[in-house]
Chain A
Amino acid sequence: MLLRIKEMIIKEFIQVFRDKRMLGIIFITPVLQMLAFGYAATTDVTNISTAVYDLDKSFESRELVQRLESSGYFRVKVHVEHADEIQDLLERGKVIATIQINSGFSEDLKKGIPSSIQVIVDGTDSNTATVAMDYINRIIMEYSGDLNRNIETRNPTIDLRARAWYNPDLRSRNYNVPGVIAIVIMLTCLLLTSMAVVREWEIGTMEQLMVTPLRPIELMLGKTIPFAAIGFFDMLVVTIVAVFWFNIPIKGSLPGLALNTAVYLLSVLGMGLLISTISRTQQQAMMATFLFYIPAVLLSGFMFPIENMPQIIQYGTYINPLRYFLVIIRGIFLKGSGMDILWPQTLSLLLLSIVVVTLSSLRFKKKIR
């Protein structure tokens, strides 16, 4: 039994290392994906194109605009001269935010009368719009706070000191890159496993394997172990890119990460095997892989929080290995969580792996239908 599995593994490795395209899938694409997604996967809003309609043209109004720009979040692209330009700029998408400072702004400030500023934000992308408004709000509040101090009219205020834990700079990349690691590894492993089994059908060796005493479980393990090893190696490479290229700190323990990665890989490879038992050609396997992969990514909490999803879809996410591993990898990277906190996720992944591997072993009968 062990000998047969060993020989399957050796054969699988020889085949992988002789196939140049396979080598590409294994060693180059994960790194390229990591680099591309790592840069792209940020929800930080910076350099918001802004138009300023300054009717006041005072020191104070210029000071406000200056503060907006120096924050790094806004880039003033246009100084508007007429009110009707504003709509045009927003419609064409030239700017995302416009700020109108009415005349009399500085006078009001000097008299201590509350003054108003009009801000219009393009709400098409609701996320960016909310963030932009929030930033403008904060900058104006700060400015007005500084003015109050200067004028020395101390109004009793509540001093709010908010602090974000685990990711004090609120760098969204720190949160997203670990997720990218998880999805990159998932795609590679799914494709490798499902393709490897289906290829045996295509070249006719599966029929030959069926007449040997090879047991289904031996075939399954022979097909999973090599790709688990490759998946582990990819995980290592991609993590190195994340840590040393994107400067994402790992706060938790590396052995913990390795252990959870092993369980995660098992569940993903099991999914790949399951896909291979319902496919007979490489095209079918490819289609099935993506039909599983895309919903798995969208419904994992990678982009949209699971808590916000309708209850029925939340139930569906329980069979998604990515859902659990995202919690684990983010916990380990950002919070330094240990197994005392993460064990429910690890256990869920383990159960899921057992179910899918068993299911695909059962589905794989040594019979042609």
Chain B
Amino acid sequence: MNNEAVAIRTENLLKSFGDYRAIDNLDLDIKRGEIYGLVGPDGSGKTTLMRLLTAIMEPDSGQAWVAGHSVVTESERVKEKIGYMSQRFGLYEDLTVIENIIFYADLYDVPRKERPERIERLLGFSNLTPFKARLAGKLSGGMKQKLGLACALIHTPEILFLDEPTNGVDPVSRRDFWKILYDLLKEGITIFVSTAYLDEAERCTRVGLIHKGKLLAEDDPAAMKKSFGYPMIALWADDPRRAIEVLKMVPGIKNISIYGDRLHIALESPELMETIVFELQAAGIVMKSYRNIIPTLEDIFITKVAGDE
């Protein structure tokens, strides 16, 4: 597997825990320079896939190549070329910011000469320069996350793996974080990121929806919305909660979700709209208005996951 354009590739990757298949014959193909977003509900296999690809967990069967090396037979070669930030950032809270960075620099054998410049740059883009001497445990969630990223980047990896990096981080820090990721992307780093936030998935060049260890859908966000098989409407009614109860019974409605005072409804066919109007009237619910909309990623994922259940 020496295709330079391929960053990550898996073939029939399988990992079970007892009877449960956490990763179920998964095929992935990710090109260099992509920022690939892995989305899925909790327990869908996101972290397991991360661990398999970062070569810290062995698959039961199948193969995976990362940066041109097999994670099964050349796991240590893989590790030299990747950076990984686990869900808990992997920081030593009783070490200072700079001590954490130097520690990882030593583990990765970063040459002494290059260190000062690299460290300065990493501290600069993560805005941690003023906090160099602060204990990592005393940083805010957003700063910890950036320090974790700095540590994962100290050896200038080719591929960066981020496992739910923005979990529990405030919106402003999340936005800053994504800015940093885009800068990295410009430098040619491939990024594989799992997230539970769908607004973040929208920012990826490609998105994969994982559920029960399988990819349910995979495309760039715009194409995914276009190719979503069902017409989507937004509907305003005077009692949206009761409207859900009524419409749940209507066959042919693929999914309903509520956004404030409006409902997003995925229809099997546009003709179903007449049935909806009729059913709501019969239940005495006043429908104020409705219109066709482009589905959000959230609509798509909820519909697909519900369809897979």
Partners in one complex: yes
Interface residues of A (CB under 8 A from B): 3-4, 6-7, 11, 14-15, 18-19, 203-205, 207-214, 366-369
Known contacts A3-B106, A204-B89; is-contact A211 B54 (Cβ 8 Å): yes
| Chain A hits for B119, CB < 8 A | none
Question: What's the Cα separation between A368 and B48 when bound, in Å?
Answer: 10
Q: CB within 8 A of B79: which of A3, A7, A207, A212?
A: A212
B87 interface residue, CB < 8 Å from A? Answer: yes
Q: Are A213 and B56 in contact (CB under 8 A)?
A: no
Question: What's the Cα separation between A315 and B158 when bound, in Å?
Answer: 55
Known contacts A14-B95, A208-B84; is-contact A4 B90 (Cβ 8 Å): no
Question: What's the Cα separation between A19 and B94 when bound, in Å?
Answer: 8
Identity of the chain A residue whose Cβ is nearest the Cβ of B80 in the assembled complex: A213
Please list 8 pairs of residues, one from A and one from B, whose beta carbons are closer than 8 Å in the complex, sorted by A's number. Answer: A208-B86, A211-B79, A211-B83, A212-B107, A213-B108, A366-B56, A368-B57, A369-B57
Identity of the chain A residue whose Cβ is nearest the Cβ of B58 in the assembled complex: A367
Q: Are B55 and A211 in contact (CB under 8 A)?
A: yes
Question: What's the Cα separation between A208 and B144 when bound, in Å?
Answer: 14
Range class of the B interface residue count? 20 to 34
| Chain A hits for B51, CB < 8 A | 207, 368
Known contacts A211-B54, A367-B58, A368-B56; is-contact A4 B94 (Cβ 8 Å): no
Known contacts A4-B107, A204-B89, A208-B84; is-contact A213 B94 (Cβ 8 Å): no
Q: CB within 8 A of A207: which of B76, B86, B106, B109?
A: B86
Tell me whether chain A's interface is mostly helix, strand or loop, or mixed.
Answer: helix
Question: What's the Cα separation between A18 and B76 when bound, in Å?
Answer: 33
B103 interface residue, CB < 8 Å from A? Answer: yes
Q: Are A11 and B103 in contact (CB under 8 A)?
A: yes
| Chain B hits for A367, CB < 8 A | 56-58
B125 interface residue, CB < 8 Å from A? Answer: no
Q: B85-125 interface mask toward A, CB cutoff 8 Å, 1 = contact, 0 = none?
A: 11111111111000100111011110000000000000000
B233 interface residue, CB < 8 Å from A? Answer: no
Q: Are A207 and B89 in contact (CB under 8 A)?
A: no
Question: What's the Cα separation between A203 and B94 when bound, in Å?
Answer: 11
B82 interface residue, CB < 8 Å from A? Answer: yes
Question: What's the Cα separation between A367 and B60 when bound, in Å?
Answer: 13
Q: Are B90 and A7 in contact (CB under 8 A)?
A: no
Q: Are B107 and A213 in contact (CB under 8 A)?
A: yes
Q: A18-B94, A209-B107 are in contact. List 7 more A-B contacts (CB 8 A).
A: A7-B107, A14-B94, A14-B99, A207-B90, A211-B79, A366-B56, A369-B57
| Chain B hits for A204, CB < 8 A | 86-90
Q: Are B90 and A208 in contact (CB under 8 A)?
A: yes
| Chain B hits for A19, CB < 8 A | 94
